[in-house]
Amino acid sequence: MVSLSRPLARPLRRPAPKAVTIALSGLVLAVSVLSLTTGAAGLGAGDLVAAVLGDGLSPRDQVVLYDIRLPRLALGLAVGAALAVAGVLLQGLFRNPLADPGIVGVSAGAGLGAVLAIVLGGLLPLGLVGWAGPSLVAVAAGLGGWVTTLVLYRVATRGRRTDVALMLLAGIALAALAGAATGVLTYLADDRQLRDLTFWSLGSLAGATWTRLGAALPLIGAALLVAPRLARGLNALALGEPQAAHLGVDVQRLKRRAIWSAAAATGAAVAVAGGIGFVGVVVPHLLRQAEGPDHRALIPHAALLGAALLVLADLVSRTIVAPAELPIGILTALFGAPVFLWMLLRNGRGG
Amino acid sequence: MLDIVDLSVRLGRTPILHGLTLQAHAGQVLVICGANGAGKSTLLKAVLGEVAYHGTIRLNGQDLATARPDQLAARRAVLPQDTEVAFAFTLGDIVAMGREAGDLWSDPGIDALALAAVGLQGRDREDFRTLSGGERQRGHLARALAQVWSPVGPDGPRWLMLDEPVASLDLGHQLMIMRLARQFADAGGGVVAIMHDLNLSAMVADRMGFLIDGRLEALGPPAQAMRPEVLERAYGCHIALNAAPKAGPWLLPQSCRPFGR
C-alpha cells in the first residue's frame, strides 16, 4: 500500500454539538432575563422573581411585564431565530455563505408583499380581511419572499453552481425593483395606510403585541420545524446538485422546501419587524467558524444564536439613547456590515 | 446487472449517443474508453440520471426512470471528476456523507477503513478544501467506497461508477485505486469506469469497449478489444500495440502484470 507521508495540515478542532447547544441555550435564557428586567418602567429583577413566585405585582407592573416586555421578548426571539435560519437555508441552497435574505433581495421582496397587503388589502372582500386579519400582511410578505427567491435562484444558479457575483447583483436588481414597486404603492396609499406603512418600515420590535406575534408565529414555527429535516440534504448539496442526487437526496424537493421555508421565515419576520439586515449572514458565519458547517447542528444553533443576538440588539437599541429608541436595523447593520465586508474579502481570495 | 438497451442521448440538437446497448455484470470491471467528445461522459451521465435519454436503463432489474434517489444511493456510488465542495467540511464529514447515503444506520467505523483504503488514514479532521487535487479525488473515492462498503447489498450487487478515477493521481495512487476497483469486483460488486489510460484499463478490466462517434465498438476482454484498427478509429492515429513480456524490463511498470489474477 502506498503511503505518502506529509506533515499533518492543521486538523480542525470543533466542539461537541451538545456543548454548543447547552451554551447557546444558557445565552438565550440570560439575554431573555436581562431583556425582561431592563426598561424605562423601572421593573427590575426583584419584581421578575416576585412574578415567577406568584407574589402579586402591581397592576401597572403586570401590564409592563405581560403586555409590553414579554411580547417584545417573544417577538425578538422569533424574529431572530427566523432570520438566522432563513440565512442558513439560503446559504445552503446557494452553496455560498454570503447569501442573506436582506442582501440578496428576499427581504425587499417580502417587504413589497407586506406593503401590497397593507395598501391593497382593503380591496379584498371584507370577510376575508376580517378572517385573515393581521396574518394577511405576514402571508403576503412570505409570498413576496418566495417569488423573489425563485427568481434569484433561476438567475444566479446555472447548472451545477451558483455564481456569487451574479447572485449579489441579481439581489441588488431585485431589491431595486421591489423598492420601486413599494414606492408606487406608497404614492397610492391613503393617510391611514401611510401611517401603517411608516410604522412598519421603521423596522423595530417596538410595536410588539401578542396579536402581531400571533400573526408571525405560524409561519416562523412552520419554517423552524421544516428546516432541521433539510439538514442532511443541505450537507449533501455542498457537493453540488449531481453529487447530492447520487447521495440519495431528492434535490428538486429539497430546493422547493428550502425556498419555501426561507421565504416563510423571512416574510413573517419582515412583516412584523421590518427590514432587519445581516442577522442571517453573521449568525451562521460565527457558528460555522466555531463548530463547522454541518447543517444538523447549524440549523438549531442558528435559531438559538439568532434569537439571543436579536434580543440583545433590541435591548441595546432601546437603552442606548433612552428614553428614545434607535431602530434595531441600524444596530444590526452597524455590527453586521463590517463582518460581511470581511467575509467578502476572504471569499474573493478563495477562502 | 446494469442493463442498457437502445440508449440515445441528444444534447440540444446534437445527437451524442446512437442506440447504444450494453450490459455490465456484477463481479466484473467494465471500462469504457474513447477519445475526447466521443460520448463517454454522456454515457455515464445517462446511467446516473443526469441527462435525459431515450431507451431503457435498468440497475439490478429496476428501471432508473422510476427509481427513487435514496434507493439508487443504496445501490450505487459515484466517483465524479473533481467536485467543488462548499463550506469547510472535513474529510471525515465527506466520507460519512457517503456512508450514511448507502445505509443511514451503518457502522461509523467504516469511515476510517475507507480512508485507510485510499491512503488518507488519520486525515479525517482536515478541511476538505485544503487537500491537494489528488487527495480530494481519493477523498471522494473514500466517500464512494463507504457508500457501497459491502459489495453485495441486501437487494443484490452494489455498483461503483468511476468517472476518470485516476485522472489527477500519481502512478502509485493510480495503481492503488485500480486495485481497489478490482477488489470490489472480485468481492461481488460491479464496477463501471471511464478511463483514458489504456495500459491501466487493459490490466484491470474484465471487459472494455471503445466509444467511437457515439457508438460502442469492440466490446470484449482487453486482448480482443484493443486491436490496432480499433484504436486507430477510436483515437485517429496509428498506435502500435505490444504485449508485456513475462520477464525482463519494461518501460511502463503498470503494464507488467494484472492484479489478483
Tell me how close the Cα of A297 comes to any Cα of chain B, in angstroms.
Answer: 13
Q: Do A294 and B74 touch (CB under 8 A)?
A: no
DSSP-based three-state secondary structure for A288: helix
Can you name the residues that pair with B11 across neighbouring β-strands? B14
Look at residue B190 in the predicted model and tell me its pLDDT.
97
Distances (CA, A) of A252 to A53, A83, A98, A216, A224: 52, 23, 22, 27, 20
User: How many residues belong to chain B?
Assistant: 261
Distances (CA, A) of A330 to A29, A99, A255: 25, 20, 32
Name all domains of chain A by residue range, CATH numbers in brackets.
Answer: 71-344 (1.10.3470.10)
Look at residue A131 in the predicted model and tell me its pLDDT.
55
Look at residue B256 in the predicted model and tell me its pLDDT.
40
The H or E element containing residue A174 is helix A164-188
Query: How do beta strands B207-212 and B29-34 pair?
Result: parallel
Could you tell me the three cell numbers for B132? 491537494
Look at residue A225 in the predicted model and tell me its pLDDT.
97
Residues of chain A with pLDDT under 70: 1-10, 55, 124-134, 159-162, 164, 199, 201-203, 347-351
Name all domains of chain B by residue range, CATH numbers in brackets.
Answer: 2-75+148-239+247-255 (3.40.50.300)
Look at residue A1 in the predicted model and tell me its pLDDT.
43
Nearest to A215 by CA among A275, A136, A146, A107: A136
Residues of chain B with pLDDT under 70: 244-261
Q: In chain A, positions 187-206, which contact chain B (CB-CB < 8 Å)? A: none
Look at residue A130 in the predicted model and tell me its pLDDT.
54
Cα B69 to Cα A236: distance, rounded to the nearest angstrom: 13
Look at residue A351 in the predicted model and tell me its pLDDT.
39
Give the residue on A whose Cα is nearest the Cα of B102.
A247
**A343 contacts in B (CB within 8 Å)?**
none
Of B68, B100, B126, Cβ closest to residue A12: B126
ipTM of the complex: 0.91
Query: How do beta strands B29-34 and B190-194 pair?
Result: parallel
Of B70, B130, B176, Cβ closest to residue A248: B70
